[in-house]
Amino acid sequence: MLTKLSSIDKSVPIPLYFQLKQLILSEIQNGTYKSGDIIPTENEISDAFKISRTTVRQAVTELVQEGWLYRVKSKGTFVSLPKINQDFIKKLESFNDQILRSGMEPSTEVLEFKVVPAADDVAKHLEVKENESVIYLHRKRLADGEPIVTIKTYLPYSECSFVMDHDLKQERLYGILSESPATTVFRVERIVEAVEATSEDATLLKIKKGKPIQYFASTGYNTFGKPIEYSLARYRGDRSTFEITVFPENK
């Protein structure tokens, strides 16, 4: 597949590793290298372009760090599955809509759906009393059958008891909540962290323990400023990328 790579121009003031990185990346993006394909070895690339192995290693390492490639010990370097670009961080949009816009088929598995007493942390976020009844919904969301995220959601039972009459495998939670002005989610506050995959993540998301997880703690409020939803989402770091828009502060 080396013949499919373009040439490197040593006469221009652009670092050789960067040129090589862009060449490999363009081959991935245009489909020459597909998910699961093995790329040439460092020696093969070095010989083909007459550049040092150090230069090749720097280009490949950056592509690995950015998630375009992954290494398998004693086997080589392979093209990763494409990440799903999600921008729910900056607007209220369902997982299903995000995945459909990516050209994939969304699906949901309901792992648990029941009424439980509110633990201290949940009670604080929902502004209810500790041990007060809340709805607990644990879901796994998939794209083309591949698990992408698990979400543990808590809702105040006193306001949201009607949710228990719905099929959360087929219906969208925010759509159900919008049936009443008092439970319609008007705004969401989110805290984002990078954490390591736990044993539960490994089982549910089919990744190795310790792999990167993008963790979101979200609180949804109605138009009156009352918290209606508290969710803890754990996204696979190797399959998700998130888009945000930042505006300059007026001074």
Residue ranges covered by each domain of the chain: 2-79, 84-242
Res. 102 pLDDT band, cuts 50 70 90: low
Report the top-level CATH class of 2-79: mainly alpha
- Fold exhibited by the domain 84-242: Chorismate lyase (3.40.1410)
Task: Tell me the per-residue pLDDT of 76-86, one tens digit each, with 9 for 90 and over.
Answer: 998 886 655 55
Looking at residue 92, what is its pLDDT? 54
pTM exceeds 0.85, yes or no: no
Q: What's the average model confidence in pLDDT over 33-49? A: 88
pLDDT in tens, 141-190: 998 888 989 999 999 999 999 999 999 999 999 999 998 889 999 889 98
Between 45 and 96, residue with greater pLDDT: 45
**Of residues 93 and 50, more confidently modeled:** 50
Tell me 162's DSSP state. G
